[in-house]
């Protein structure tokens, strides 16, 4: 589904050239959930923006479904750290915003919007305005908005980082359920080892800048996963410890 071939990205400014990522080779299968984990400044967000077509690669190429990515595409959705909801639009109208932007009819997608809101625990909040919602609820609305056009690829740039620990874990559980139901291909950037272990099929660990792939760890823990007591508590702890050692090396 996604293929990065020898992808590098540099930025040039007054103080010279900075290499953000270097020589990235990565394949992401259809329906796979891949987390990208690394220290601040290692190029995680840069990598995501190149897959989204928001930044060109300096060298190498990015392909999605066999086509080279040169600009944003309708089949690739992106979710950022902040929900960026329009304050004057209701929850339902915020979810339907991409449909209007792409020239579709809201009525044709209204049932899908209600389905997504129900899936993420927001049934009954369709007419609320963003300021009436908690931070976690706003991010759920942003998730529904990203999924409304049924993208083949979902790119998520630390979407839960501004939330408290309990809300982050709750939303991680919601995202697990959404992914299991919809089988969307997801690339998820995070600083959090816990999020990576809870969510991913594989975790790509990047080195400090310039970001290079240090290790790719398979997470072979059955879903749904939890950080609390459960049948797979030992496996979750072992995987978290291995990622911690990789990041500290």
Q: At 11, is the pLDDT very low, low, confident or very high (cuts 50, 70, 90)?
A: very high
Tell me: pLDDT of 229 over 80.
Answer: no
Tell me: pLDDT of 231 over 70.
Answer: no
Mean pLDDT of 147-171: 88
pLDDT at 105: 73
Tell me: pLDDT of 165 over 90.
Answer: no
Of 56, 60, 88, residue with least CA distance to 72 = 56
Domains of the chain: 2-75+152-248 (3.40.50.300), 83-150 (no CATH)
Spatial distance between the Cα atoms of 118 and 80, rounded to a whole number of angstroms? 22
- Contact partners, residue 68, CB within 8 Å, separation at least 6: 61, 62
- Contact partners, residue 165, CB within 8 Å, separation at least 6: none
How far apart are the two ends of the chain, measured CA to CA in Å? 31
Spatial distance between the Cα atoms of 176 and 227, rounded to a whole number of angstroms? 13
Of 70, 21, 18, residue with least CA distance to 204 = 21
| Comparison of pLDDT for 174 and 7, the residue scoring more | 7
| Comparison of pLDDT for 238 and 105, the residue scoring more | 238
Q: What is the pLDDT of residues 42-87, one digit of tens each?
A: 999 999 999 999 999 999 999 999 999 999 888 999 998 889 999 9
**What is the pTM (predicted TM-score) of this model?**
0.91
C-alpha angle with apex 174: 169 to 179, nearest 5 degrees? 120
Question: If you ran DSSP here, which 8-state letter would residue 69 be given?
Answer: P
Of 123-132, 149-158, 164-173, the one with minimum mean pLDDT is 164-173
Tell me: pLDDT of 227 over 80.
Answer: no
Q: At 102, is the pLDDT very low, low, confident or very high (cuts 50, 70, 90)?
A: confident
pLDDT at 248: 85
- Contact partners, residue 241, CB within 8 Å, separation at least 6: none
- Percent of the chain's residues with pLDDT above 70: 98
């Amino acid at each position: 589904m996604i293929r990065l071939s020898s992808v590098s990205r540099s930025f040039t400014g007054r103080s010279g050239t900075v290499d953000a990522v270097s020589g990235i080779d990565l394949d992401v299968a259809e329906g796979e959930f891949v987390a990208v984990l690394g220290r601040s400044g290692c190029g995680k967000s840069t990598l995501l923006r190149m897959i989204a077509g928001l930044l060109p690669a300096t060298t190498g190429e990015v392909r999605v479904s066999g086509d080279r990515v040169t600009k944003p595409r309708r089949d690739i959705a992106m979710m950022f750290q902040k929900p960026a909801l329009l304050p004057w639009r209701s929850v339902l109208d915020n979810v339907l915003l991409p449909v209007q932007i792409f020239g579709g009819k809201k009525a044709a997608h209204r049932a899908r919007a209600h389905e997504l809101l129900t899936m993420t625990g927001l049934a009954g909040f369709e007419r609320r305005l963003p300021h009436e919602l908690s931070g976690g609820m706003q991010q759920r609305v942003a998730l529904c908005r990203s999924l409304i056009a049924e993208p083949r690829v979902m790119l998520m740039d630390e979407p839960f980082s501004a939330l408290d620990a309990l809300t982050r874990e709750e939303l991680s559980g919601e995202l697990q359920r959404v992914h299991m139901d919809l089988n969307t291909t997801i690339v998820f950037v995070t600083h959090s080892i816990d999020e990576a272990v809870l969510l991913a099929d594989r975790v790509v660990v990047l080195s400090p800048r310039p970001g290079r792939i240090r290790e790719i760890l398979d997470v072979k823990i059955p879903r749904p996963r939890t950080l609390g007591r459960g049948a797979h508590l030992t496996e979750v702890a072992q995987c978290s410890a291995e990622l911690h050692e990789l990041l500290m090396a």
